[in-house]
C-alpha cells in the first residue's frame, strides 16, 4: 500500500472546502444542547442530520443509537483489505449551552466567518472536529483511488458528552461487539498552538468523593462547649491539610502505587514546547504556581496524579458571626490519576486514610462517584507514530507531544474495548471551548481533514492487523 | 450594721410570694422579643412596665433609656449610709422568640405553673432573675427595718441582650457617670444544679474573625490546572488545621500571653462539683471529649482559652461533583478568652499568624468583629465572699464555684466602669434557655430573692466603701 500523495489530498480538500463548510454550518445551526431539556429534539435532529451526512459521505452503515439520555451516532465503513486494522473514531455532537447575551458577537447558532475563523457554538467542541473526518476520508479515497478506506473505519459520536456522558459507558458495553477496534482515535481535544502541532498521548483519570463528618447531633454553643468536644469543621480541615506533605506530594498511603513515571524522552519533548509560565498563569487566572517538588508545571498537570479539594463546607457561612460548633462538615475531593493507577485501589486507599484521620467522637461517611480511568499511549506505539507522521505531513513541520490534564469518557472506550487511545485534535487554546465566541481556525480545521486523509493509509501500511 | 435575720427575710418572702408571682406573670405576658421588629412596641411596653414596678418597689429614680435599638431601664436607690458601697445590678428584659408550635406545652407568653415550676418565655432568661431583686430588696428593708438599702443600689436592665446587645456598650459609655459602682452583680446566669448552689466567678471573653482566601480570579478547571496552582480551599483548611498542636493547644504565637492560670484552690473547688462526663456529653450532644492536654472538661470550657472554627466554606457544596479549583474560601474563627488576655493583642497575633500561614499566590483578608473582654473575680475578693455567704445562708448549704464558658455584654460594664463583676444566678441547666418550655424553679427563684436580701447587708458590713 503506497502513501497517499500529499498534493492530491490537498487538492481534493481545496476543491471541496466550500461545500464542507456549508455542510458544517448547517449542522452548527442545530442547537444540540444536551444539558437543556428543551433542546432534546434538537439533539435528536443533530444525530439524524449527522447519520444522514455520514451515509452521503459513503459509510455503508449509519445508525442512531438511543440511550436513556441523548442519542449517539454510529457509522461503519469496512476496508476491503482484510488485514487492515480497525479504527474507531470518537467525538460528540452535543454542545454546551450558549446565548447571544452571554457575550457573543454573533448568534452562537448562526455560524459566521470572520478573519478565516468560523464562529459558532460547537465549531471546535466538537462538531468541527468530528466533521473534518468526513472530508478526510473522502480525500483519502480520492487521492488513493480506493473505494473503501485503507482501514476499517468506525465512528461513535455521542450526544451527551457536555452533560457528563451518564449513559456512555453502558452504551459502549452494550455495543462492545460492534465497536471492537485496534485503536481509538479521539477527536475532541486540541494541540499546543497555531504554530506548534502536537499529539496528545494520554489523559488523566478521575476519582471523586465526598466525605461528610458528623460531630455533635446539632450545632452547639461554642461558649458552653468550645474547647472540650471535637469540632467536625476542624476535622474536615485537618483531613484536607493532611492530603499533602511539604513537597505537595499526596500523603495517602498507596496513592502512588503503580504510577507510570514520565520517561526522559517525554520530559525532553515537553521541554521543547514553547511554554511561557507567566502567560499560563494568566490563563489559569492564578497568582503563583504550586505543585509537586521535582516536576515542571506541564509535568504536574499532564503526568502527575493530584488531590484537590473542590468544595469544603461546614457551620455558619452567612454574614457576621455565629458562635457555634457545627454539627457537620463536608469536603469534596477529586483525584486526577495517571497511567498505572487503578481507581478501585485509589478508592480503597482513600477510605482507609479517611478512617485513620477521623478523630474520636467524629463519625465519617464517604461516597465515591463513578471514576474515570487514566489512559496513556507510549511514544513508541506504532499507531501513535502513524498519527505523528500524518500530522507532520499535513502541517509540514515536526510534531511535539502533550498530554491532557482533564479526564474524558474516551477512557471508557479503552477500558471496555481494550484498545489504545490516540488523540487527533486541531483545536487551539484560543478557541474558547464552553465560552462565548467559540471558534475554530479554518486553516487548522482543514489540516485536521488532511491529517485524517494521511492517517488511514499510514496506519494500514505500518500497523498491519494480523488477520 | 447587723446581719439581716434569716427568718425575718424568709417570712417576708413567704408572705409576698403570691403577689410577687402575680406581678412577674404580668411582665412575662409582654412578648418583649427584641429580635423581631413587630415586637418593638412590646419591648418598649416591657421597659415601661418594669420602670413602673421598680418605682412601686421604692426606687426613687427610675428611667427608661432609649438606644438606637431597644430601650433599657435604669433605677437607683441611694443608701442613707455614705460609706456604703454602690452596687449595679445587670439583667435584661427582652426575651428570645417563642411560638406555641415550636413545641411548647402551653402558650409561651401565658405563664403557667406546673409542679412548682413557672413556665414562660423569659421565666429564667432573664425576667425571673431580674424580678427577684424587687422582692429581695423589700425583704432586706423589712427584715432590717431600714428605709434605704444598706448599699446604694443601681439597676441597669437592657432590652437587646437577645439581639447581641449592639448598642449596650455605647449606652454604658454615655451614662458611665451615673452607672459608677464598686461592683456589678450580673443576674443573668445560673448555678450548677437544684442541689448544688454555686457562684460563677468569671466569664470567657470572645474575639471573632472571618478570613477570606482568594486564589484564582474565578473557579478554574481542576483537570486543566489541578496540581499546579495553589487552591484557596486547601489554604483555608491548612489554616484551620494549624490552629492547634497535638495537645489541642492553640499554636498562634502570643495567644497565651498573660493568661491567668487556674489556682490550685479553684481547680480543687471545680473538682468538688458532681460532674458526670457522660451526662455532660449528652447535653453537648457530642460523642467524645476533646481538648487541651492537662485540663479537665470543666477547666477547658470555663478557664482555658480556645480557638474554634464556627464556619468554613469554599468551592462547590451542592449535590454531586464539580471539578474545580475554587476561586475563594473562607473560615470563621472564634477565640474564647480568659482573664489576662487582651482582645487587641489577640487580634494582632491572629493577623500576624494568618499572614504567615497564607501561601504564595493566595491573598487573604481578615475582618474582626467587636470583641468581648473576659472577666474574672478572684475567689478571695471580699465582694465575692459576700455573695457566697449570702447564697449559703439562703440555701442552707455550702456554695461551690463555677465559671461561665460563654461571653456576655456584662464584660463591657467591667471594662467601662472598672468594677469587678459578680454573678448571682439561680437558673439551672434544665431551665431550657432559648428552648421550648423555658421554666424557672419557683423555690430557686425565691432563694434568689432571699440571697439578694442577705447580700446587701453583708456587702455593707464586710466591704465598706471609703467615702
Tell whether B225 and B101 lie within a shared domain: no
Which residues, including other chains, have CB under 8 Å from residue B374's CB and lie 6 or more apart?
B202, B203, B204, B205, B337, B338, B339, B340, B341, B407, B411
Rounded to whole angstroms, the Cα distance separating A30 from A27 reads 6
DSSP assignment of B5-57 equals: PHHHHHHHHHHHHHHHHHHHHHHHTS--BTTSGGGHHHHHHHHHHHHHHHHHH
For cell 513537597, what's the residue?
A247
Rounded to whole angstroms, the Cα distance separating B64 from B60 reads 14
Q: What is the mean pLDDT of each run of 10 residues along chain B (467 residues)?
A: 73 97 98 95 98 98 97 98 95 95 95 98 97 98 96 97 91 97 96 96 95 96 93 98 98 98 96 96 95 97 96 94 93 96 97 98 96 93 96 97 90 92 95 93 98 97 71
Inspect the interface and report whether the beta carbons of A308 and B361 lie closer than 8 Å. Answer: no
Inspect the interface and report whether the beta carbons of A228 and B288 lie closer than 8 Å. Answer: no
Cα angle vertex B322, ends B318, B324, to 5°?
120
Q: What is the nearest CA distance from B42 to chain A, expressed in angstroms?
A: 26
B292 in any annotated domain: no
A91 closest CA partner among A170, A36, A166, A155: A155
Q: What is the pLDDT of residue B465?
A: 56
Tell whether B333 and B345 lie within a shared domain: yes
Tell whether B432 and B324 lie within a shared domain: no
Supply the CATH number for residue A234's domain.
Answer: 3.30.70.360
Q: Is B205 within 8 Å of chain A by CB? A: no
Q: Which of A225, A310, A322 lies closest to B284 in CB terms? A: A225
What are the chain B neighbours of A404 within 8 Å (beta carbons)?
Answer: 223
Q: Is B297 within 8 Å of chain A by CB? A: yes
How large is the greatest C-alpha to C-alpha distance in chain B, in angstroms? 86
A109 closest CA partner among A101, A99, A82: A99
Q: Is A71 within 8 Å of chain B by CB? A: no
Last-in-domain residue among A349, A368, A387: A368
Whether the CA torsion A229, A231, A237, A239 is positive or negative: it is: positive
B298 in any annotated domain: no
Q: What is the nearest CA distance from A85 to chain B, expressed in angstroms?
A: 32
Inspect the interface and report whether the beta carbons of A228 and B291 lie closer than 8 Å. Answer: yes
Inspect the interface and report whether the beta carbons of B312 and A406 lie closer than 8 Å. Answer: no
Strand blocks (E) in B271-418: 306-315, 324-325, 328-337, 363-368, 375-376, 400-404
Tell whether A135 and A241 lie within a shared domain: no
* Residue ranges of A 248-267 with Cβ closer than 8 A to chain B: 248
Q: How many residues does chain A have?
A: 467
Rounded to whole angstroms, the Cα distance separating A243 from B174 reads 53
Q: Which residue of B has its CA nearest to A216?
A: B286
Inspect the interface and report whether the beta carbons of B240 and A237 lie closer than 8 Å. Answer: yes
Tell whether A13 and A132 lie within a shared domain: yes
A271 in any annotated domain: no
Can you tell me the ipTM of this complex? Answer: 0.90
pLDDT digits (tens, 9 = 90+) for A36-47: 999 999 999 999
Rounded to whole angstroms, the Cα distance separating A157 from A127 reads 10
* Residue ranges of A 327-346 with Cβ closer than 8 A to chain B: 327, 329-332, 334, 336
Tell whether B358 and B221 lie within a shared domain: yes
Cβ–Cβ pairs < 8 A, chains A and B: 296
Q: What is the pLDDT of residue B467?
A: 44
Q: Is B208 within 8 Å of chain A by CB? A: yes
Inspect the interface and report whether the beta carbons of A310 and B208 lie closer than 8 Å. Answer: no
Q: What's the Cα-to-Cα distance from A28 to each of A9, A43, A162, A406, A427, rounded to whole Å?
A: 25, 11, 15, 25, 16
A297 in any annotated domain: no
- Can you read off the three cell numbers belonging to residue B68? 438606637
What are the chain B neighbours of A222 within 8 Å (beta carbons)?
Answer: 306, 308, 310, 334, 336
Q: What is the pLDDT of residue B100?
A: 94
Q: What is the pLDDT of residue A409?
A: 84
What are the chain B neighbours of A357 within 8 Å (beta carbons)?
Answer: none
For cell 480557638, what's the residue?
B307
- What proportions of chain A, in percent to the nearest 5, are helix, strand and coil? 40, 20, 40
What are the chain A neighbours of B231 within 8 Å (beta carbons)?
Answer: 308-309
What are the chain B neighbours of A320 within 8 Å (beta carbons)?
Answer: 369
Last-in-domain residue among B316, B337, B368: B368
Last-in-domain residue among B368, B386, B411: B368
What are the chain A neighbours of B206 within 8 Å (beta carbons)?
Answer: 223, 323
Q: Which residue of A has its CA nearest to B408?
A: A223
Q: What is the nearest CA distance from B46 to chain A, expressed in angstroms?
A: 27
A313 in any annotated domain: yes
Tell whether A42 and A136 lie within a shared domain: yes
Which of A166, A208, A218, A222 best probes binding to B when mutated, by most B CB atoms within 10 angstroms? Answer: A222
A128 closest CA partner among A199, A77, A64, A190: A190
Tell whether A161 and A98 lie within a shared domain: yes
Supply the CATH number for residue A119's domain.
Answer: 3.40.630.10
Inspect the interface and report whether the beta carbons of A229 and B288 lie closer than 8 Å. Answer: yes
In chain A, the percentage of residues whose pLDDT exceeds 70 is 99
B290 in any annotated domain: no
Contact (CB, 8 A) for A361 and B290 = yes
The 3-state DSSP class for residue B400 equals: strand
Average pLDDT of the residues in A340-368: 97
- Can you read off the three cell numbers belonging to residue B148? 434605704
Contact (CB, 8 A) for A318 and A181 = no
Nearest 5°: phi and psi at B166?
-60, -30
Q: What is the pairing mode between strands B152-158 and B86-92? A: parallel
The 3-state DSSP class for residue A130 equals: helix
Inspect the interface and report whether the beta carbons of A369 and B320 lie closer than 8 Å. Answer: yes
- Can you read off the three cell numbers belonging to residue A47? 444525530
Tell whether B320 and B412 lie within a shared domain: no
Which residues, including other chains, have CB under 8 Å from residue A19's CB and lie 6 or more apart?
none
Domain limits for position B161: 6-203+374-462
Tell whether A50 and A161 lie within a shared domain: yes
Q: Is B204 within 8 Å of chain A by CB? A: yes
Inspect the interface and report whether the beta carbons of A314 and B311 lie closer than 8 Å. Answer: yes
Q: What is the pLDDT of residue B463?
A: 87
Other beta carbons within 10 angstroms of residue A116's beta carbon come to 10
Tell whether B214 and B98 lie within a shared domain: no
Q: Can the peptide bond before residue A126 be classed as cis, meaning omega within 30 degrees of 0?
A: yes
What are the chain A neighbours of B306 within 8 Å (beta carbons)?
Answer: 222, 226-227
* Residue ranges of A 372-411 with Cβ closer than 8 A to chain B: 404-407
Q: Which residue of A has its CA nearest to B289?
A: A229
Other beta carbons within 10 angstroms of residue A15's beta carbon come to 12
pLDDT band, very low/low/confident/very high, at A4 (cuts 50, 70, 90): low
Strand blocks (E) in A294-381: 306-315, 324-325, 328-337, 363-368, 375-376
A33 closest CA partner among A122, A124, A166: A122
What are the chain B neighbours of A223 within 8 Å (beta carbons)?
Answer: 204, 206, 336, 404-407
Name the domain count of chain A: 2
8-state DSSP, A465: P
Tell whether A247 and A337 lie within a shared domain: yes
Q: Which of B224, B300, B369 lies closest to A228 in CB terms? A: B300
Average pLDDT of the residues in A137-161: 97
A169 in any annotated domain: yes
Inspect the interface and report whether the beta carbons of B310 and A291 lie closer than 8 Å. Answer: no
Q: What is the nearest CA distance from A255 to chain B, expressed in angstroms?
A: 15
- C-alpha B90: how far from chain center: 11
Q: Which helix (H) or strand (E) is A21 found in, with range?
A: helix A6-28
Rounded to whole angstroms, the Cα distance separating A39 from A94 reads 10
Q: Which of B226, B233, B300 lies closest to A306 in CB terms? A: B226
pLDDT digits (tens, 9 = 90+) for A416-435: 999 999 999 999 989 989 88
Inspect the interface and report whether the beta carbons of B322 and A313 lie closer than 8 Å. Answer: no
The 3-state DSSP class for residue A411 equals: helix
Q: What is the pLDDT of residue B42?
A: 98
pLDDT band, very low/low/confident/very high, at A287 (cuts 50, 70, 90): very high
Q: What is the pLDDT of residue A370?
A: 85
Inspect the interface and report whether the beta carbons of B405 and A223 lie closer than 8 Å. Answer: yes
B277 in any annotated domain: no
Whether the CA torsion B139, B142, B147, B150 is positive or negative: it is: negative
Q: What is the pairing mode between strands A306-315 and A363-368? A: unpaired
Q: Is A240 within 8 Å of chain B by CB? A: yes
Amino acid at each position: 500500500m503506497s502513501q497517499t500523495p500529499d498534493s492530491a489530498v490537498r487538492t481534493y480538500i481545496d476543491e471541496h472546502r466550500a461545500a464542507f463548510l456549508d455542510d458544517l454550518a448547517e449542522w452548527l445551526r442545530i442547537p444540540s444542547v444536551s444539558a437543556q431539556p428543551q433542546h432534546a429534539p434538537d439533539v435528536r435532529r443533530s444525530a439524524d442530520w449527522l447519520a444522514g451526512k455520514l451515509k452521503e459521505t459513503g459509510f455503508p452503515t449509519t445508525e442512531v443509537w438511543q440511550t436513556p439520555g441523548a442519542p449517539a451516532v454510529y457509522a461503519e465503513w469496512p476496508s476491503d483489505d482484510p488485514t487492515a486494522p480497525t479504527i474507531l473514531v470518537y467525538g460528540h455532537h452535543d454542545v454546551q449551552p450558549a446565548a447571544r447575551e452571554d457575550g457573543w458577537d454573533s448568534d452562537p447558532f448562526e455560524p459566521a466567518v470572520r478573519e478565516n475563523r468560523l464562529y459558532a457554538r460547537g465549531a471546535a467542541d466538537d462538531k468541527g472536529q468530528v466533521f473534518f473526518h468526513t472530508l478526510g476520508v473522502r480525500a483519502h479515497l480520492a487521492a488513493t483511488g480506493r473505494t473503501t478506506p485503507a482501514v476499517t473505519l468506525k465512528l461513535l459520536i455521542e450526544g451527551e458528552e457536555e452533560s457528563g456522558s451518564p449513559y456512555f459507558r453502558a452504551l459502549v458495553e452494550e455495543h462492545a461487539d460492534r465497536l471492537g477496534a485496534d485503536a481509538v482515535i479521539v477527536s475532541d481535544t486540541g494541540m499546543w498552538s497555531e504554530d506548534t502541532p502536537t499529539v496528545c498521548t494520554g489523559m488523566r483519570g478521575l476519582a471523586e468523593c465526598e466525605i461528610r463528618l458528623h460531630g455533635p447531633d446539632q450545632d452547639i454553643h461554642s461558649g458552653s462547649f468550645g474547647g472540650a468536644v471535637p469540632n467536625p469543621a476542624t476535622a474536615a480541615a485537618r483531613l484536607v491539610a493532611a492530603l499533602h506533605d511539604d513537597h505537595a506530594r499526596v500523603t495517602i498511603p498507596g496513592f502512588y502505587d503503580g504510577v507510570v513515571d514520565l520517561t526522559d524522552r517525554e520530559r525532553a519533548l515537553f521541554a521543547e514546547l514553547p511554554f511561557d509560565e507567566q502567560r499560563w498563569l494568566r490563563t489559569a487566572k492564578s497568582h503563583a504556581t504550586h505543585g509537586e517538588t521535582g516536576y515542571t508545571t506541564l509535568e504536574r498537570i499532564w503526568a502527575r496524579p493530584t488531590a484537590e479539594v473542590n468544595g469544603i463546607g461546614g457551620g455558619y457561612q452567612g454574614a457576621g458571626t455565629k458562635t457555634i460548633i457545627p454539627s457537620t462538615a463536608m469536603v469534596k475531593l477529586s483525584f486526577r490519576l495517571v497511567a498505572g493507577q487503578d481507581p478501585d485501589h485509589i478508592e480503597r486507599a482513600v477510605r482507609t486514610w479517611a478512617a485513620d484521620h477521623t478523630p474520636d467522637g467524629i463519625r465519617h461517611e464517604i461516597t465515591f462517584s463513578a471514576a474515570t480511568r487514566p489512559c496513556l499511549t507510549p511514544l513508541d506505539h506504532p499507531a501513535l507514530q502513524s498519527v505523528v507522521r500524518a500530522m507532520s505531513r499535513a502541517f509540514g513541520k515536526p510534531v511535539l507531544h502533550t498530554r491532557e490534564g482533564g479526564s474524558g469518557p474516551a477512557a471508557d472506550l479503552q477500558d471496555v474495548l481494550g484498545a489504545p487511545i490516540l488523540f487527533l485534535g486541531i483545536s487551539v487554546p484560543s478557541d474558547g471551548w464552553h465560552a462565548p465566541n467559540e471558534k475554530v481556525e479554518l486553516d487548522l480545521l482543514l489540516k485536521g481533514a488532511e491529517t485524517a486523509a494521511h492517517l488511514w493509509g499510514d496506519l494500514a501500511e505500518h500497523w498491519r492487523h494480523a488477520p
